[in-house]
Structure 1
Amino acid sequence: MATWIIVGIYFLLMLAVGVASARKANSLTAFVVGGRSAGPWVSAFTYGATYFSAVIFIGYAGRSGWDFGLWALAIGLGNALFGAFLAWAVLAERTREVTRRLKIKTMPQFFETRFFSKGMKIYAAVIIFIFMTPYSASVYSGLSYLCEKVLNVDYHMAMLGIAVVAAIYLVVGGYVASLQADFIQGVVMLIGVAAMVFFILRSGSVGGIANGVAMVYDKMVDSGLTSFSWQTVIGVVSLVLLTSFGSWGMPQMIHKYYCIADKRSVKAGTVISTIFCAVIAVSAYFIGSLTRLFFNEVPKVNGAVNYDVMVPNILVGTLPEILLGVVLVLVLSASVSTLSGITLTSCSAIAIDLLKETFVKSMSKKTTLWVTRLLCLLFIATSYLIASLKSPILMLMAFSWGSVAGAFLAPFLLSLYWKGLNRAGAWAGMITGPLLCTVLAVSSGFKSANSAVYGVISIAASFLACFIGSKLSKKLSAEEQTAKEHFYNKEYTLQTAEPTNV
């Protein structure tokens, strides 16, 4: 009963945030980028809350902890150092400056503005919508496995409840609601992960941190994991690269930089985001590394090995009911914030870049706002249907990240720092990455074992394609040259209704 009460309070709070934010989300700019006024704490917490979802606690932590033992902690450290600190240091200010100055609201708009290509904008919008859908489905799956164990709620009913809550507060309040909700959810995540680690360490199967680490090490010796074989090296390194650097090209993560208020917020946000991500990621993978203390073999569901049920089973067996409710809300918070970020990014790209600015140019901003809201509902429903198939979480996550990051990471990062990148090079990178990731995934039968490796290969191939395409292409057209000059000229400001003060 206590668990249900805590979850009920969380749902009501999220709905209240959505309703309270409705008045502020009455324009397209406010709905999509929240007025570009987010301070350091809100920016950092919304970045971290979007970065981590049920996938890290249920999918990645359980599978990685079982496969790599204590070596899995390297993934969490990599997320903090490369996915948070280095990402903010390299991307945040440059992205904030150029997107504010040129009134860019979406990733497809970024590429159109830099390379003067409507075709690239349409392509980017389609890639986002297609490949972000399975990522969103992985979020549903992770949450539903936990709800099924903790609340004894049917998997599909749990997903439906999550979808309804996310849809209401996002569709009503937009990015304004998302910012406020993510800050609250970030606080819940920190409290919840601390409680989770504390009680798992106190359980009889672990017996404290020193004893637990020693026993895990012994299990690693027995399983041959201490030798750090090439298989382990490739597995850990690929996960560090994909989950840390892959985030640099994920539209919902880049979107957080668009909305930062000023340079001071960037500096403070870098520190806050790094600490937040270190606490969440290291704690999650540490819990995952303890799985061998609770299981002698990977549990089976309907006769098939299923890594995704390990952490939920551990939580149910170690936490008191009231804290089980807190931890459930922790995973709900992480997942709903990620889900809202993915949904808003995907649907704004379709509504603004594909419909309004390409096919229905006469569409008013008010109509575009309502179309965006309707697309959010459609996207959430589609993700729900995919998740209902119960595909492995790790496979869904890695395939989505590999494809999207393969399409955008190289051209986006190079656009910020290399004037030599041209339209042909960007096209080469944006096509090569997702195409290669899809081919590798299909050829392997969508097996999750190598999905992270495929993602890393796709990102590397995209960088190579960008360089080769730029070197082999012809001289820039007058329009592309002008767009390039405007992009890098900090004195040039696009004169539209949106404010430009920094």
Structure 2
Amino acid sequence: MIIYFVVVLVLYMLAMILIGFFAMNRVKSVADLHVGGMNVGGVFVALSFFTTYFSSVVFIGATALGWKYGLPVVWKDVFVVLIGTALAFILLGPRIACLSRRLGFITISEFVEKRYGSRLAGLVTSVVMFVGLLIYNVSALIGTARAVEVVASIDYLYALLLTGIVTAIYTAVGGYIAQMWTQVVQAIFMIFMAIAICVVSLLRVGGLDTLSTQLRAIDPSLAGWPYKDALPLFTLYLSLGFLGWGNPALLLRFVSVRNRISLGTATVIATAISAVFTLSLDLASATSRIIVGNNVAPDYSFVYLVQNIMPKGFDALFVVAVLSASMSTISAILGVMTQNIRDFIKNFVSLDHGKEIALYRIATIAVAVSSIALATKPPEMIIVLFGVTTSILAGVLIGPIIYGLYSKRVSPIAIIVTMIVSFALAIGVSAYGQFKFPWTYYSFIPTILTSITLPPIITIFTEAKHPK
């Protein structure tokens, strides 16, 4: 069995690296490197958005919520599918795609800089995004390493190194095009695995009605109202939904889309597969409380569920699915973090085409190594760590993005001050709760309210600077 696992993992990793090197031959310009030349079709955009949105956190961290809270976690789908996916495509996609051509930006930091006419605003955006994405990257690495550790009996550190290094290689050499090509393969593994586990787990417990009855016998809150920890879960679900609006790795998918027709196709496909995927995992994770029992660590409950209900050898495919979820997100995050470094450096150094590519590859490896180092000492539940990410990305950046897309009256100083204050709130509230659940998610509420309400107030006392 160990040999079987090794063969499957090696073949998968080699396939990802080979795709990266094939993609390298398609990188002819800076736009190719960062956004696929702004010529990506709708199906690719949809699958890329899907795999970037759902990292290994959804297989490990989010499924821990299913074990802990039961069927009420299904409410999460409403926020993630409708707000984070459908409304993100409908309300943000067309505006970002249009403005990226009109203003000539290929990164979100450039969008803020050019839209508000302020280099400092772009710089602050880069710093905020870098911090939020670094935490995101670390949580994705932790989730993958934990799954591989349990299922494949590979030491956590080795699993961590394997995931981080391979992802860094194909991202560094192939850029955005490598991200897109690998994410198509990864999306197929993720969707297949979620549906298969859902069907088998529901059959094992005797169907949805039987599952509800058995969960209610353990604790009525596991099957219906009154929900346990309703307020923390609501803030968690809300932040996960708005992550689709504030995560720069997701917003870049709208920059890369070929045209409005492709964007329309992507909207339908991304919404559909997100609904199927999240509902499947939520229902399956709820069964883990019945099938696995109470005496397990929440983060490992879904892994034990797979080992319990699926035939031998199938758990290797599960590891591939977790790796797909993680590596697709990590690749996208590495790309954006590298863009942040590039946007910072270009303020001081002129970069030609050759220097751009060299910087991208060096920075990608450097960021990956840093993330691996930080992931060597993980917290007990990665969903707690993920809360800080959602507060920063889905909270701090919402205001600047929304006003940048739909208003010409907000001043650059208002955006700068808002990002600094809301970022301080995101960190401060989490720190007050010692970076533990539910405080990492409570921090989202004051953060997003500040991000949305403060810019027009500050603008009253400052002069708005319109883009050309």
The TM-score with structure 2 as length reference comes to: 0.95
CA offset digits 1:332-387 (Å, max 9, x no partner): 11110000011101111211x1102x111x33221122111111111111111111
Residue 261 of structure 2: SS of its match in structure 1? Answer: helix
Q: Which residue of 1 aligns with 2:182?
A: 181
Matching of residues 128-139 of structure 1 within 5 Å: 128-139=129-140
Distance 2:154 2:245 in 1: 36
Quote the offset at 1:152 in angstroms: 0.2
Residues 60 and 421 (structure 1), Cα distance of their counterparts in 2 relative to 1, 3 Å cut: same
Q: Is 1:278 aligned to residue 280 of structure 2? A: no
Distance 1:446 1:262 in 2: 42
Quote the offset at 1:424 in angstroms: 2.6
- Conserved? CA contact 1:69–1:289, under 8 Å: yes
Residues 321 and 457 (structure 1), Cα distance of their counterparts in 2 relative to 1, 3 Å cut: farther
Distance 2:424 2:359 in 1: 29
- Conserved? CA contact 2:429–2:439, under 8 Å: no
- Conserved? CA contact 1:162–1:336, under 8 Å: yes
Residue 25 of structure 1: SS of its match in structure 2? Answer: coil
Matching of residues 8-157 of structure 1 within 5 Å: 8-62=10-64, 64-157=65-158
Distance 1:453 1:291 in 2: 27
Distance 2:318 2:201 in 1: 12
After superposing the two structures, state which structure 1 stretch, 283-292 or 71-80, moved more.
Answer: 283-292
Residue 229 of structure 2: SS of its match in structure 1? Answer: helix
Distance 2:256 2:133 in 1: 21
Quote the offset at 1:322 in angstroms: 2.7
Q: Is 1:253 aligned to residue 250 of structure 2? A: yes
Distance 1:396 1:372 in 2: 27
Quote the offset at 1:220 in angstroms: 3.4
Residue 154 of structure 2: SS of its match in structure 1? Answer: coil
Q: Which residue of 2 aligns with 1:303?
A: none
Distance 2:276 2:112 in 1: 34
Matching of residues 119-268 of structure 1 within 5 Å: 119-203=120-204, 206-221=205-220, 226-229=224-227, 232-268=229-265
Matching of residues 96-495 of structure 1 within 5 Å: 96-203=97-204, 206-221=205-220, 226-229=224-227, 232-297=229-294, 299=296, 306-351=297-342, 353-356=343-346, 358-360=347-349, 362-391=350-379, 392-471=381-460, 473-476=461-464, 480-481=465-466, 483=467, 486=468
- Conserved? CA contact 2:70–2:222, under 8 Å: no
Partner amino acid for 2:361?
A: R
Distance 1:315 1:334 in 2: 16
Distance 1:114 1:224 in 2: 47
Distance 2:293 2:197 in 1: 22
Q: Which residue of 2 aligns with 1:493?
A: none
Partner amino acid for 2:72?
A: W
Distance 1:195 1:275 in 2: 17
- Conserved? CA contact 2:138–2:374, under 8 Å: yes
CA offset digits 1:290-335 (Å, max 9, x no partner): 2321354353xxxxxx421111121122221232122221111111
Residue 363 of structure 1: SS of its match in structure 2? Answer: coil
Quote the offset at 1:225 in angstroms: 6.5
- Conserved? CA contact 1:126–1:350, under 8 Å: no
Query: What CA RMSD, in Å, does the superposition of the two structures yield over aligned residues?
Result: 1.7
What stretches of structure 2 of length at least 5 have no aligned partner? none
Quote the offset at 1:224 in angstroms: 7.3
Distance 2:412 2:324 in 1: 39
Distance 2:224 2:196 in 1: 29
Partner amino acid for 1:394?
A: I
Quote the offset at 1:139 in angstroms: 0.4
- Conserved? CA contact 1:52–1:338, under 8 Å: yes
- Conserved? CA contact 1:70–1:217, under 8 Å: no
The TM-score with structure 1 as length reference comes to: 0.89
Residues 81 and 262 (structure 1), Cα distance of their counterparts in 2 relative to 1, 3 Å cut: same
CA offset digits 1:5-33 (Å, max 9, x no partner): 33332212111110111111243221111
Residues 348 and 126 (structure 1), Cα distance of their counterparts in 2 relative to 1, 3 Å cut: same
Residues 104 and 146 (structure 1), Cα distance of their counterparts in 2 relative to 1, 3 Å cut: same
Distance 2:417 2:8 in 1: 50
Distance 2:71 2:456 in 1: 38
Aligned residues, how many? 465
- Conserved? CA contact 1:71–1:236, under 8 Å: no
Distance 1:316 1:470 in 2: 57
- Conserved? CA contact 2:168–2:365, under 8 Å: yes
- Conserved? CA contact 1:131–1:404, under 8 Å: yes
Residue 24 of structure 1: SS of its match in structure 2? Answer: coil
